[in-house]
Chain A
Amino acid sequence: MQEAVIDTVRVAAAHEGVAELVVTLKHSNGGTSEVALDQLAADALLQACQASSPEQLAGHSWSKVREAMAVSWNRFSNN
């Protein structure tokens, strides 16, 4: 089963109006799910996808989104 890919992205206002990137993933059966990325994760995703704008993220795999989220989650890690 093919993994999900980025279908669309949009910028939304998160807590206190800070911008977040809402990524819509499209699964192999046509179902969709959304995941919100903070700035650190969004920047990591853009870098991983070699994209200069959010519009260029479409088509990239879920694994890149997951890795970008890990960058944000691990920001306070002492490792």
Chain B
Amino acid sequence: MSLFNVFHIASSAMSAQSQRLNVVASNIANAESTDSANGKAYRARQVELMATDLGKSGGAGVKVARVIEGSDAGRQVYNPAHPKADEKGYVTMPNVNVVEEMVNMLSASKAYQTNVDTLNAAKSMLNHTLTIGQ
């Protein structure tokens, strides 16, 4: 029954948005990280969302296709005493735009709430359906 599909659709969106929030949290936490596992400064990450077809019922869930790293260069700060300073004394900082990340965070949490409402509405519709004939 299509209403059970709504559970799958809404829960796929909830998990995609919480992964997005995860990535936002990583970016904000590492906004000043000049070092990482590969020896370079942290690069801001973004999620790529993709619609997943749920068959001929006409419903489409959503999933995180992949996590991509931003390609724009981080800003350079002059600090010759820093251990990661290059030969000219500049340190490469991460390319994290904290304002943009805050907007992403608000958008992800609002989308998560909206999908929780969708789930609750489907649940109450199914509950009412169960009362048919009683």
Question: Do A and B share a complex?
Answer: no
